[in-house]
């Protein structure tokens, strides 16, 4: 049985992030799941769903502005792909886990027992809710400054790989070299339904050329194509 975990005090998180919230109610709401609210109706606490909605929009705007200013030669389509790769669930989950956001989550008992604290979608939602809360409390500049520390460096580090569509590159390479038919197959699915992992194999001319793992079938296929290109 999964043990019930007491959320860490948010004052500790603020100290770690060196961010002081004026409206601490906003901060508490960002880390309050609807399951917790439903079990503590008399407390009058809000959950993070509305903040998640707002944070999603703030995040997209901040990242769009950063990409526009950083990749000055990139066309619109490439900027769109870069943004999608930057604000995707796995990216947000990775940052949230590094910042230990799951430890500050307030969950209902049922959600806790079902493994909600480790659920990727829930963790990504908390990250977006935090960005929304920070925006409401301190404005766009504060949200942008937070992302400049914790998100934008990832784009700089991984910018070249994020800009590449490995499936397209592999397709062009195979066609140019006349190596035969290119195909993908999802050969395995593993993990619980809320945290599924896919394994893809790419074949060229009927032979295995690469394999990749991802949180979605599309991501797994991209990683398989990247593996195939690395083998050449």
Domains and CATH numbers, the chain: 10-162 (1.10.1520.10), 166-231 (3.30.160.20)
So what's the pLDDT on residue 1? 42
So what's the pLDDT on residue 15? 96
Spot the catalytic one: 111, 112, 125, 128. Answer: 128
So what's the pLDDT on residue 53? 97
So what's the pLDDT on residue 82? 84
Is 56 one of the catalytic residues? yes
pTM: 0.68
So what's the pLDDT on residue 89? 86
Spot the catalytic one: 52, 56, 125, 219. Answer: 56
| DSSP collapsed to 3 states, the chain | CCCCCCCCCHHHHHHHHCCCCCCHHHHHHHCECHHHHHHCHHHCCCCCHHHHHHHHHHHHHHHHHHHHHHCCCCCHHHHHHHHHHHCCHHHHHHHHHHCCHHHHCECCHHHHHCCHHHCHHHHHHHHHHHHHHHHHHHCHHHHHHHHHHHCHHHHHHHHHHHCCCHHHHHHHHHHHHCCCCEEEEEEEEECCHHHCEEEEEEEECCEEEEEEEECCHHHHHHHHHHHHHHHC
Q: List the chain pLDDT tens, one digit each, 232 residues.
A: 444 557 899 999 999 999 999 999 999 999 999 888 887 777 667 899 999 999 999 999 999 999 999 988 877 877 887 888 889 888 899 999 999 999 999 988 888 888 878 888 899 999 999 999 999 999 999 999 999 999 999 887 665 555 566 788 788 788 888 888 999 999 999 988 888 899 999 999 999 999 999 888 988 998 898 888 777 6
Is 128 one of the catalytic residues? yes
So what's the pLDDT on residue 16? 95
Cβ atoms < 10 Å from Cβ of 223: 20
């Amino acid at each position: 049985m999964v043990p019930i975990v007491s959320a860490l005090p948010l004052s500790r998180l603020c100290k770690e992030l060196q961010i002081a919230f004026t409206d601490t109610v906003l901060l508490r709401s960002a880390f309050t799941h609807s399951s917790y609210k439903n079990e503590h109706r008399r407390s009058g606490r809000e959950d993070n769903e509305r903040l998640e909605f707002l944070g999603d929009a703030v995040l997209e705007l901040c990242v769009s502005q950063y990409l526009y200013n950083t990749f000055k030669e990139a066309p619109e389509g490439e900027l769109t792909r870069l943004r999608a790769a930057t604000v995707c669930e796995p990216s947000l989950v990775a940052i949230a886990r590094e910042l230990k956001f799951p430890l500050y989550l307030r969950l209902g008992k049922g959600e806790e027992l079902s493994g909600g604290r480790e659920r990727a979608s829930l963790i990504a939602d908390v990250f977006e809710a935090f960005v929304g809360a920070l925006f409401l409390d301190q404005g766009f500049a504060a949200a942008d400054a937070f992302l400049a520390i914790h998100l934008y460096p990832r784009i700089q580090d991984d910018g070249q790989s994020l800009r590449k569509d490995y499936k397209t590159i592999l397709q062009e390479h195979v066609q140019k070299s006349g190596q035969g038919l290119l195909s993908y197959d999802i050969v395995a699915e593993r993990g619980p339904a809320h945290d599924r992992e896919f394994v893809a194999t790419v074949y060229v001319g009927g032979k295995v050329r690469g394999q990749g793992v991802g949180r979605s079938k599309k991501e797994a296929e991209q990683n398989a194509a990247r593996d195939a290109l690395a083998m050449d």
